[in-house]
Structure 1
Amino acid sequence: MRSHHGRRKIALPLQMLLGLVLGCAVGFLFPHFAEKLAPVGTAFVQAIKMIVVPLVFTAITLGICQMGNQARSLGRVSAISLIYFFVATVISIFIGLGLNALFHPGLGANLAEAAKPGKVVAASVDWTKFFLDMIPSNIVAAMSGSNLLPVLFFAALLGLALGSLGNRAKPLIDVLDALMAAVFKVTDWIISLSPIAIFAIISWLFATQGIGTLLSLVKLVGVMYLGLALLVVIFAIILKAIGEKPWQVSRQISEPVLLAFATRSSEASLPVHMEKLVQMGVPKAVVSVVLPLGYAFNRDGSIMYFALAVGFLADAYRIPLDWHTLLSIVIVTTLASKGSANVPSGGLVAVAMVLTTIGVPVEALAIIAGVDAFLDMGRTAINVYSNTVAVKLVMKLAHVAYEEPEAEPAQDSSSPQHAANAPRGLA
């Protein structure tokens, strides 16, 4: 993947932004030509639909399996971490949905007339049927349908089962891991074509819908950064409540946060983040457990954005967000955020999962993909900050003591000082 990206003269996010700008220009200057570009975008959407089910099934199965293994082997710290990650995920989803309900950035982009007829949302909720439909009577049929809730349910159960089997599950885990790697590669190929798809779909939308869509995208970016600021305030309150100094913590981890913002990559900031936490006195045993789990399962900035983006597109396509639809968004976003954590362009895949569930056309992804680079920088940085808060909170709740902070320069492994600073494990 790196070699593929290394040959790219223009970075993919810049290509996507260029596709958005050129699409607006062509849609405005050559509307008749732009209207004929719709099949190009349709092909891209079909390709995204093709990979969603196999990618989500393998990623969630392996993710839940790994989470189960960690929780069993690492006891109190892992259990507290996973509980906190779940609570933080739900809170982030409600913040995203609440901001959408307050500002409705998608109402200016009226795409309902251009959309194909979607799923009709019932006026009343049959809760019995809703929960029974989550249990697939035929998993193959469920995978071929448009409702991903049964697939998510089966994948979560299979992941838990594999995690409980120990070494007996290794052959199937290896197969799923290889399948997921292959699907990742296909995903990378498809996403590399996204600038062309963005150009085609945005030019078609601009020719048929006008400037309202573009203004709505600007509003979406503004609302998302307002949500990220709200998350920072919540994190500061948590840090203050457990006896930490929010400004001091923010200054100490500024390097990995800025690195995540600039690179839009959690993986790029992980080594620096771990090093900084150890220098702050967090035991290596805690860092090596909580932080990798957090990078996979605690991405509050991204999760808040998933909910906001789905609400934005639901408004744009005039899909009513009643309690039945909102509950579906909460459930699917919670699971999708765990399954797409390490997926290339996983945000788009996670949003596609939720859109499929509530009946919004998946081609709507191209509308937000053009500004995704601006959105991705902020949410990735907040993910790093939120996992710092998670480490601090888990240490407090698990009664783990700080160690003597390590000096900035690396110490020789044979020195007495290095031996004294060796991690003492969990208290």
Structure 2
Amino acid sequence: MAKRLTLYIMIGLVLGLLLGTAINYGVESIRTFLSLLASWGWIDPPEAAPALLKDIAGGFSIITTIFLRLIKMIIAPLVFSTLVVGIAHMGDTASLGRIGARTMGWFVTASLISLSLGLLLFHGIEFVIDAVAPGTGFGFSLPAPDATVGLDKAAFDLSKWITHVVPSSIVDAMATNEIIQIVVFSVFAGVALLAIGERGAPIVKGAEALAAMMLQITDYVMRIAPLAVFAAITATITVNGLGIIVTLGLFVGSFYIGLAVLWLLLFGAAFAFIGRRAFSLIRYIREPILLAFSTASSEAAYPRTLEALDRFGVPPRIASFVLPLGYSFNLDGSMMYMTFATLFIARVYGIDLSIGTQIIMLLVLMVTSKGIAGVPRASLVVIAAVMGQFGIPEAGLLLILPVDQFLDMGRSGTNVVGNAVATAVVAKWEGALDEPEPPEIEPPHAPAHRATT
């Protein structure tokens, strides 16, 4: 099933590229036809081409929106139930503290590496451009420095973020899919169940049943994933076309080269800790990666990533603890992008930042990027919030906004890789990495976790 689903998703992606390109290039023909119908009085006169493209894309986007809403429907109860069960099966609070410390240590290190890689990547491109065509810069027609993108930057005020981490109501946190708040409550609930011992056994059993039910629902929802991928890619290419990638080819291409380097670093680190099994991990998580890439949503891949890590041999008590934390603290692709994009914008406006200032900016981005999972265009919001602190015009975001969807696809897939590697490494550190199951085989019914050990 998993192998066929991956194939169907890839087919949906290719068909979406073809249809989106055809619509984008053929819109004038469509508009001419609609104008003819309008001249006969059958319909109202058609809109201008850009508006027409958005209308067409909007029809396809309905399918993608429904799919992503179904995924969001699953996330809150799945994170809560699996995290509570995972902590309850830790055995004692000492194990929980040890795993938590190792997890956060990995996340902080990975964050610094991702942000630093973005810094080095930018300077590498800058060096090449200056060597080939000195003094030309990046050659963009710049928006006015006082132009705005209209993003809500206030959401990433540090003091507000710290208080926002703690939920005032778990019901409200679940209703709004606030992952980090759900994680905080689930940790309290799991530790409390550890403390009360046998008296909490019925709740643990109920949470296990809830997790199994949510994973079965995931199996149902994933059957429309290829259609959702087809619709998402079609809508994106219909509006933007492939030409926008050529226009900003240097920026897009450089970023994807950086992602490739980051993948090599992540799997290299995994190899250092778990040996040759690190190379087989990609086979287990290929479907979640492809799903996150094609829908530009890390969230969409969460349930399948959890199942893939289970088949890879990561015990549920570890995967259910590390993976939700990763969605709030370990978005490697997003963090590399934020450093690279911020410095890129500073350069095109001719703003010279000292190395010390760049390092400070890197640390500020590291703090403000935490907890961005589930926030639309979260990376752009963080960048907009930080740029103002260093005198970089927010208008620079207008340069990269047309290709942000394509960039979001890459960073979403990379976020899945980073969290999967982190979870596997923590399991190895705990001496709990089990023998893997075949990656192509899924349980015939509810894809419940293996025995919690």
Q: Give yes or no for TM over 0.5.
A: yes
Alignment-derived partner of residue 228 in structure 1: 259
Alignment-derived partner of residue 89 in structure 1: 111
State the alpha-carbon separation in 2 of the partners of residues 79 and 215 from structure 1. Answer: 44
- How much has 1:395 moved relative to structure 2? 1.2
Question: Is 1:108 equivalent to 2:138 in the alignment?
Answer: yes
Structure 1 letter corresponding to 2:366: T
1:284-325 alpha-carbon deviations (Å, 9 max, x no partner) = 111111111112221111111111100110001111121342
Structure 2 letter corresponding to 1:424: T
Alignment-derived partner of residue 410 in structure 1: 443
- How much has 1:116 moved relative to structure 2? 4.9
Alignment-derived partner of residue 350 in structure 2: 318
In the TM superposition, 1:182-193 aligns within 5 A as none
TM-score (norm 2): 0.56
TM-score (norm 1): 0.59
Instruction: Report the RMSD for the aligned CA atoms in angstroms.
Output: 4.3
Structure 2 letter corresponding to 1:282: V
Q: Secondary structure at the match of 2:248?
A: helix
Structure 1: runs of 5+ lacking an equivalent: 1-9, 23-65, 118-145, 163-168, 182-194, 200-212
State the alpha-carbon separation in 2 of the partners of residues 180 and 284 from structure 1. Answer: 22
Further displaced range: 295-304 or 69-78: 69-78
State the alpha-carbon separation in 2 of the partners of residues 373 and 179 from structure 1. Answer: 23
State the alpha-carbon separation in 2 of the partners of residues 218 and 77 from structure 1. Answer: 42
Question: Is 1:296 equivalent to 2:345 in the alignment?
Answer: no
- How much has 1:112 moved relative to structure 2? 7.2
Structure 2 letter corresponding to 1:224: F
Percent identity over the alignment is: 34
Q: Secondary structure at the match of 1:108?
A: coil
CA contact (8 A) 1:148 1:357 kept: no
Question: Is 1:276 equivalent to 2:308 in the alignment?
Answer: yes
State the alpha-carbon separation in 2 of the partners of residues 147 and 359 from structure 1. Answer: 17
Question: Is 1:423 equivalent to 2:451 in the alignment?
Answer: yes
- How much has 1:272 moved relative to structure 2? 1.1
State the alpha-carbon separation in 2 of the partners of residues 382 and 389 from structure 1. Answer: 11
- How much has 1:99 moved relative to structure 2? 0.9
Alignment-derived partner of residue 426 in structure 2: 394
Alignment-derived partner of residue 168 in structure 2: 170
State the alpha-carbon separation in 2 of the partners of residues 405 and 115 from structure 1. Answer: 55
Structure 2: runs of 5+ lacking an equivalent: 1-15, 29-79, 88-92, 130-135, 148-152, 179-235
- How much has 1:109 moved relative to structure 2? 3.6
- How much has 1:179 moved relative to structure 2? 9.3
Question: Is 1:79 equivalent to 2:107 in the alignment?
Answer: no
CA contact (8 A) 2:99 2:430 kept: yes
Pick aligned residue for 1:255 from 287, 292, 295: 287
Indicate how the Cα distance of structure 1 residues 237 and 358 shifts in structure 2: closer, same or farther if over 3 A, else same: same
1:105-133 alpha-carbon deviations (Å, 9 max, x no partner) = 7931456794359xxxxxxxxxxxxxxxx
CA contact (8 A) 2:298 2:416 kept: yes
- How much has 1:225 moved relative to structure 2? 0.8
CA contact (8 A) 1:264 1:380 kept: yes
CA contact (8 A) 1:90 1:334 kept: yes
CA contact (8 A) 1:356 1:362 kept: yes
Pick aligned residue for 1:309 from 341, 349, 361: 341
State the alpha-carbon separation in 2 of the partners of residues 380 and 86 from structure 1. Answer: 19
State the alpha-carbon separation in 1 of the partners of residues 358 and 257 from structure 2. Answer: 21
CA contact (8 A) 1:278 1:406 kept: no
Question: Is 1:239 equivalent to 2:270 in the alignment?
Answer: yes
- How much has 1:401 moved relative to structure 2? 3.9
Structure 1 letter corresponding to 2:360: S
Indicate how the Cα distance of structure 1 residues 295 and 176 shifts in structure 2: closer, same or farther if over 3 A, else same: closer
- How much has 1:348 moved relative to structure 2? 1.3
CA contact (8 A) 1:295 1:387 kept: yes
